[in-house]
Structure 1
Amino acid sequence: MPKILRPNSPHLPIYKPQLTSTFPISHRISGAFLATIVFFFYLLCLKIGLICFTYENVYQFFFFSSKLILISVGIIAFFSFYHISNGIRHLYLVFSSSTYSIFMPFFIFIIIGILLFYENEVVSYCEGLHAFSSPKTPQEAGTPPQEDPVPEPMPPEIPQLDPPLVSDEDRRQILYRRFLFLNLGGDTNLHRMISIIDLQLIVERSIEAALVDDGIHPTDIIPRYANIRGIIHSPQGSLLSERTYGSYVNQIREQGTRQSVPYQRIRRAILSYDLVFPRQ
């Protein structure tokens, strides 16, 4: 008996898939894929909690960090749409048949009830309430809350020394001679010179009063005035600009003497022993 070469079943080259088998198979595949995604997020919530989803960075990481994740989001959306659409199609075919046609009104009633319930929940949560929420207090209902009184800002601490260790006239003469020496060959504008000397005088008197207020004896300050003036007025060995001296005066008036740049220079000089005062 001759051997008959029959094709294996199913014969793949000539096999034609049927829609009745393709839809259920793809429906199960999409359902398994979506269940895996849901299970992954469930494990993520168990690991780091729901609080992570209140941060924008989590969503940026999952959905906007790379093109690969964007493609994954598109695939998830496609599988979700297909799974829901095919499920509705399957339910319609089942309930529209003669055997299950009696259940069709109940199915429509359940779908309408779910949609109405979801709509009410959305409206309720938009108002910040749901069926088990406590009633709003008058403040939450729209009564403007009473604002706490804003405390008045503390005035800047600017110690004063009256009378100063050096009179203003003697101080101006000293600052004038320093200006001529440090400005040798520079701008000889008279208005600029007077303005810089006036600003230096204000800064110097403020620093002097702060040092005395810190507990340094006045007799220990006067012998070291040359070093103090150098640290305050010319830290690099040359005059600073008129605008810089003006900013020092503004710092003293707005923030206090101890927050100004010249006073901080004096403190650093004391800590680094570039300026030494006897212990009291």
Structure 2
Amino acid sequence: MTFYRSLLQNVIKLAKTFVPIFLFLLVLISLHWGLGLECLVAACDGGRGSSSVAAEFHPAGEPREETPPPPPIPRAVLVPELVQPLLPDNLRMVELQQRLSIYFIGRHDRAHLPQFLGILEKQMLLEKRIEAALVRDGYAPDSIFAKRGEIRGIVLNHPTRGVALSESTLNRYLSQIERDGTRLSTPYSRVMRAIGNLNLLIRRNNE
């Protein structure tokens, strides 16, 4: 009887020692579980819970790096020019003047002189632009020089009416060259089309 009483007293002592520790651990577990549940609810509610927790699930977007625009193409590439043209300006002027005079038959008077000179000036500029682009694109200068009469018919005449292009049309082509480059202009496209269709035979440097 004394043995059982002593055993019971020891059990009570152990209980008094470990019960507070057990209760303390239980409280810690409850607090941890409650915080985890709060985080889960905040994440599921899309930020309606704690603002600090919502910030972890919805971080601010990082600024996107914009791709810098490509550098502009140099004008010398878009509108090539020859240091030494295929034809001296004085000789080119004489040839173009004689050619243009055919389209001014019956209008060789002072009244039409400004129109004649305006067209002649623009023809010279346009022809030199086309020649320079052809040379830069690999066509043989001597072949371009030999075919200059055919090239003039393609570049300086109306494609269907057989008349010289007006000064306003020539100005439009020159503006197009300055804006987009010689190779994207209408007259150069006509020359390329004639070469592609074998209507204009110009030899390349490697041929």
| Interval containing the TM-score (normalised by the shorter chain) | 0.5 to 0.7
- Confirm whether residue 225 of structure 1 aligns to residue 112 of structure 2: no
- Maintained 8 Å contact 1:183/1:239: no
> Partners in 1 of 2:112 and 2:99 — Cα distance?
16
| 1:198 alignment partner in structure 2 | 121
TM-score (norm 1): 0.47
Q: Which amino acid in structure 1 is aligned with residue 74 of structure 2?
A: P
> Partners in 2 of 1:168 and 1:274 — Cα distance?
27
- Maintained 8 Å contact 1:158/1:210: yes
Q: Which amino acid in structure 2 is aligned with residue 212 of structure 1?
A: V
- Confirm whether residue 247 of structure 1 aligns to residue 166 of structure 2: no
> Partners in 2 of 1:258 and 1:164 — Cα distance?
18
Q: Structure 1, residues 158-187: CA drift from partner, whole Å, max 9, x if none?
A: 222121010111111111112211122459
> Partners in 1 of 2:166 and 2:67 — Cα distance?
44
> Partners in 1 of 2:58 and 2:148 — Cα distance?
72
Q: Which amino acid in structure 1 is aligned with residue 103 of structure 2?
A: L
| 1:154 alignment partner in structure 2 | 73
Q: Which amino acid in structure 2 is aligned with residue 256 of structure 1?
A: G
Q: Are the structure 2 counterparts of residues 137 and 204 from structure 1 closer, same or farther at C-alpha, using a change threshold of 3 Å?
A: same
| 1:135 alignment partner in structure 2 | 58
> Partners in 1 of 2:123 and 2:104 — Cα distance?
14
TM-score (norm 2): 0.62
Q: Structure 1, residues 17-64: CA drift from partner, whole Å, max 9, x if none?
A: xxxxxxxxxxxxxxxxxxxxxxxxxxxxxxxxxxxxxxxxxxxxxxxx
- Maintained 8 Å contact 1:175/1:197: yes
| 2:181 alignment partner in structure 1 | 256
> Partners in 2 of 1:130 and 1:175 — Cα distance?
80
SS in 1 for 2:195: helix
Q: Are the structure 2 counterparts of residues 215 and 154 from structure 1 closer, same or farther at C-alpha, using a change threshold of 3 Å?
A: closer
Task: Give the number of the structure with larger relative contact order, counting CA–CA contacts within 8 Å between residues 6 or more apart.
Answer: 2
Q: CA offset at residue 150 of structure 1?
A: 3.5
Q: Which runs of 5+ in 1 are unaligned?
A: 1-128
| 2:88 alignment partner in structure 1 | 167
Q: Are the structure 2 counterparts of residues 194 and 136 from structure 1 closer, same or farther at C-alpha, using a change threshold of 3 Å?
A: farther
> Partners in 1 of 2:146 and 2:61 — Cα distance?
70
| 2:97 alignment partner in structure 1 | 176
> Partners in 2 of 1:147 and 1:213 — Cα distance?
35
Equivalences, count: 148
Q: Are the structure 2 counterparts of residues 149 and 216 from structure 1 closer, same or farther at C-alpha, using a change threshold of 3 Å?
A: closer
Q: CA offset at residue 277 of structure 1?
A: 2.3
> Partners in 1 of 2:104 and 2:59 — Cα distance?
73
| 2:138 alignment partner in structure 1 | 215
Q: Structure 1, residues 54-86: CA drift from partner, whole Å, max 9, x if none?
A: xxxxxxxxxxxxxxxxxxxxxxxxxxxxxxxxx
Runs of 4+ in 1 over 3 A off after TM superposition: 129-136, 145-152, 185-188
